[in-house]
Amino acid sequence: MEISGSSAIVFGGASGLGEATARRLAADGAQVTVADLNAERAEFVAAEIGGVAQPTDVTDPEAVQRAVDLAVAGSGAGGLRISVCCAGIGVPAKLIGRDGPTPLEHFAKVININLLGTINALRLAAAAMIANEPNAGGERGVCVNTASVAAYDGQIGQVAYSASKGGIVGLTLPVARELAGMGVRVMTIAPGIFETPMLAELSEPVRQSLAASIPFPSRLGRPDEYADLACHIVTNEMLNGEVIRLDGAIRMPPR
């Protein structure tokens, strides 16, 4: 799929991995819709990259549909071709806390945003894509989801986060198989420890310790490295139905 001239939407595109991807797609010639819960920040990023912003809660079907419709409307006759979902939260909690079992609502919130939010964005973006005319290679669109290495080696306290990201890993192949006959590819990136607003809340000694735990390169990942991979996935039509770990060979310890 050619990036230049295509309409793209990035869910969670106002910060972190999503912002870097929105900026890279725009730099490569895409018309980008920045869909994010933080409306003010989304407007700022969109203005800088020549895109459009849409306040979006990925758990809200109507909000996601409005964002998809905006991306389609801005595409001319080409339709929405690229969707990247980076929206998510990571709120740690053990299964059993000091006061007993952690309230179910905590787990439900994380899974609702991370997993069901991804499914919501995926289903509505893909529905728009299958209405497109195929390109010369038969493609109508590409969807890139975001999991985490926590899907494979989650740490103590990552019950809901690991479960939600494991769900994204698990849906990648069946959805790719379902959409293959319609010319829509589906891929997932599982990042390791990256420089994101979520990680910025940690102290510098903790950040340095995390960086040292990565075999090579022994540093935190940069959001632009995620964006590089996302854009390569878009342009490499043989990539489909797979999860790629982007992690410097890290395997997370229990805690």
Catalytic residue among 11, 161, 194, 226: 161
Question: With contact defined as beta carbons under 8 Å apart, do 82 and 141 qualify?
Answer: yes
Q: Are strands 7-11 and 31-36 parallel, antiparallel or unpaired?
A: parallel
Question: With contact defined as beta carbons under 8 Å apart, do 168 and 151 qualify?
Answer: yes
CA distance 4 to 6: 6
Phi, psi of 168 (to 5 degrees): -65, -40
Residue 241 backbone zone (phi > 0: left; psi -120 to 50: alpha; other: beta): left
Q: Give yes or no: 226 in active site.
A: no
Contacts of 179 (CB under 8 A, 6+ apart): 126, 130, 143, 185, 186
Question: Structure tokens of 251?
Answer: 């395997």
CA distance 148 to 84: 15
Question: Structure tokens of 57?
Answer: 């809660």
Active-site residue set: 161
